[in-house]
Each structure stands twice: as C-alpha cells, then as structure tokens.
C-alpha cells in the first residue's frame, strides 16, 4: 500500500530504529522525573544526534507541534540540559544536549527541588510557631513530630551537595 505520503525510510532504517529506542528510554526517564513526555522525546533526540538539530527537524522527527517543541526546549534550557548552537550560514537556531550528568542533575535539582525545600523551610517555621503557642497534652507529641520533620528537612539539604560531589566524577 504505497498510498502513504510520508517518506518511509529515507535514511538507514537501523539508525532510525536506534533513535527511536533511545527516545523511548528518555521518555521513561522523563516520566520518572515528572516532566512532560515531549520533553523526554526532545532531549532523547538531541542526545543521540551527532550534530546540533534545528527546531523543524525535531518537529518532523518526533511528530510534535511547533508549540510543543518551542516550550520543551525552553524548559530544557532552563535546566541547562540543552544549549543553543550557532551554525554559520543558517538562520535557524540549532540545539545540542548537555550530556554531562552532573550538570543535568544540578539543573534539575535547582529548578525542581530547591524551591520546594525553601518553601518547606518556611512552612516548617510557621508550624513551629503554632506548636509553641499550644498548651495541653498534645504539646509534647507535636514537638517531637515537628522535630522529626526538621531533621528530615536538614537531611534533604545535606544530600544535595553530597549527590553533586559523587556525580562530579
């Protein structure tokens, strides 16, 4: 049935197959990281490609809309997971994946967990104040619980630099 308008296999079929498998892998990873599927697709594609890729190529290869690719790239750049590359003689921007694990994790943590740690800290302060104003039988238990929460929080803050140090090399 040659009624298909798409080109079926322009480039080596095997290469496409590999690209698909890698993109698939990154889609799962995005899932775990709580990022949109399309972001995983885009990063995966950039990761495996030998050379920097322009937006329209991403749209075409991944069957994503212009908007999705534009927004996905923005997010990835905000993490420092993707860099914009200048290609002489081409008006379009090209994009490459940042492939250093430490930088990726660092960017992700900075954008997606550090803010939560901060707001958590403030919430804890509020809770501690509320407990301080309490009296009665519950007081003792509450203080114990809140102390535990504070320890958790401190641990979380300790672990981030530790993680980055381990990832350093």
DSSP-assigned beta bridge partners for residue 64: none
Task: Count Cβ atoms below 10 Å from residue 30 Cβ, excluding itself.
Answer: 20
> Closest by alpha carbon to 94, among 102, 85, 104, 103?
85
At residue 78, φ and ψ (nearest 5 deg) are: -65, -30
Q: Of the candidates 56, 63, 84, 152, which one interacts with a second copy according to CB under 8 A?
A: 152
Extended strands (E) in the chain: 53-54, 82-85, 94-97
Q: Does 99 bind a second copy (CB under 8 A)?
A: yes
Q: Does 80 bind DNA (CB under 7 A)?
A: no
Which residues form the interface with a second copy (CB under 8 A)? 12, 14-15, 17-18, 21-22, 24-25, 28-29, 31-32, 34, 47-48, 50, 99, 101, 112-113, 116, 119-120, 123-124, 126-127, 130-131, 133-134, 136, 138, 141-142, 145, 148-149, 151-152, 155, 158-159, 162-163, 166-167
Which residues form the interface with DNA (CB under 7 A)? 35-39, 54-56, 63-68, 70-74, 90-93
């Amino acid at each position: 049935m040659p009624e298909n308008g798409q080109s079926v296999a322009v480039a080596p079929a095997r290469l496409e197959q590999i690209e698909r498998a890698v993109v698939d892998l990154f889609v799962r990873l995005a899932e775990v990281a709580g990022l949109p599927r399309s972001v995983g697709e885009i990063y995966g594609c950039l990761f495996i490609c030998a050379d920097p890729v322009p937006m329209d190529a991403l749209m075409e290869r991944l069957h994503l809309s212009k908007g999705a690719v534009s927004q996905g790239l923005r997010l990835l750049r905000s993490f420092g997971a993707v860099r914009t590359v200048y290609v002489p003689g081409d008006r379009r921007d090209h994009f490459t994946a940042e492939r250093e694990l430490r930088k990726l994790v660092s960017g992700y943590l900075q954008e997606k967990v550090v803010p939560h740690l901060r707001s958590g800290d403030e919430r804890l302060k509020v809770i501690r104040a509320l407990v301080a104003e309490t009296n009665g039988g519950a007081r003792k238990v509450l203080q114990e619980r809140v102390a535990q929460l504070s320890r958790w929080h401190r641990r979380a803050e300790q672990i981030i630099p530790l993680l980055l140090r381990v990832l350093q090399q």
